[in-house]
Structure 1
Amino acid sequence: MDTMPASAARDYAAMEDGALVACVRAGERDAFRHIVQRCNQRMFRVVRGVLHADADAEDAVQEAYVRAYERIDTFRGDSSLATWLTRIALNEAYGRLRRRRDSVDIEQDEALLRASAQVVAFPGHALQADPADAAARAQMRSLLEQAVDALPEAFRLVYVLREVEGCSVEETAAALGLREETVKTRLHRARRQLREALHERVAASLPDAFAFLGARCARMTEAVMARIAAVDA
Structure 2
Amino acid sequence: MNKPSKMMSDCAERQMSEAALVAAARLHEEAAVRELIRRLNGRLFRVARGLMSTDAEAEEVVQDAYLAAFTHLDGFRNAARFSTWITRITLNCAAMRLRKQHAQEEYDTVEEPALRSGEVVLFPGLETEPTEAALGRMQTRALIEAAVSELPSDIRLVFLMHDASGLSLHDIARDLSLPLGTVKTRLMRARHRLRRIITDRIQGGFETIFPFAGHRCAGMAESVVALLKERQHLP
TM range (shorter): 0.7 to 0.9
- Secondary structure of the residue aligned to 1:45 is helix
Residues in 2 aligned to 1:219 and 1:134: alpha-carbon distance in whole angstroms: 24
TM-score of the superposed pair, with normalisation by structure 1? 0.80
Structure 2 residue aligned with 1:9: 8
Tell me how many residue pairs correspond in the alignment: 204
- The 2-side partners of 1:133 and 1:27 are apart by 44
Contact 1:83 1:174 in 2 (8 A): no
- How far off is 1:15 after superposition? 2.2
In the TM superposition, structure 1's runs of 4+ consecutive aligned residues that sit over 4 Å from their partners are 132-135
Question: Are 2:191 and 1:191 aligned?
Answer: yes
Q: What amino acid does structure 1 have at the position aligned with 2:51? A: V
Partner residue in 2 for 1:146: 146
Residue 77 (structure 2) pairs with residue 79 (structure 1)? no
Residues 201, 165 of structure 1: CA spacing in aligned structure 2 closer, same or farther, 3 A cutoff?
farther
Q: 2:34 matched to which residue of 1? A: 33
For structure 1, list consecutive stretches of 5 or more residues without a partner in the other structure: 104-131
- Any conservation in 2 of the 1:137–1:204 contact (CA below 8 Å)? no
Q: What is the aligned-residue identity percentage?
A: 40
1:157 counterpart = 2:147? no
Distance of 1:67 and 1:21 partners within structure 2: 14
Cross-structure match for 1:100 = 101
Give the CA deviation at 1:178: 1.8
- Unaligned ranges ≥5, structure 2: 105-131
What SS does the corresponding residue of 1:204 show, helix, strand or coil? coil
RMSD: 2.3
Is the contact between residue 137 and residue 205 of structure 1 (CA under 8 Å) also seen in structure 2?
Answer: no
Q: Does 1:217 align with 2:209?
A: no
* Cα deviation code 1:7-30 (max 9, x no counterpart): 413623222222221111122122
- The residue type paired with residue 8 of structure 2 is A
Query: Which structure shows the bigger proportion of residues in helix conformation?
Result: 1
CA distance in 2: counterparts of 1:27 and 1:205, whole angstroms: 38
Name the aligned partner's letter for residue 30 of structure 1: A
Distance across 1 between alignment mates of 2:56 and 2:4? 32
* Partner Cα separation in structure 2 for residue 210 and residue 59 of structure 1: 15
